[in-house]
Amino acid sequence: MIKEEVVGYIEHRLKQAGAKHPIFTPAALEAIALRSQGWPRIINNLATTCLLYGAQLKKHMIDEDIVRMAAEEMGY
């Protein structure tokens, strides 16, 4: 999967879940695409972990720092 496909995949999944506005910054989406290397399972796991970190930190947007923290925790 290329970066644009990863971004589209995440945005589609969020829309299906009922998201009404962007949750991930463009830099965060790019970081997920890079760290996941396009593997859907890794995209899902990493995005979910980012959402959990964001909720714990009371963030309204997931940024690349949260992606970095989640990826390091998960070993990606």
The whole-angstrom separation of Cα 66 and Cα 71 is 8
Q: Which domains, ranges and CATH numbers included, belong to the chain?
A: 3-74 (1.10.8)
Residue 1: pLDDT band (50, 70, 90) is: confident
Residue 64: closest CA among 23, 36, 31: 31
Spatial contact of 53 and 24, defined as CB atoms under 8 Å apart: no
pLDDT tens digit sequence for 7-59: 999 999 999 999 999 999 999 999 999 999 999 999 999 999 999 999 999 99
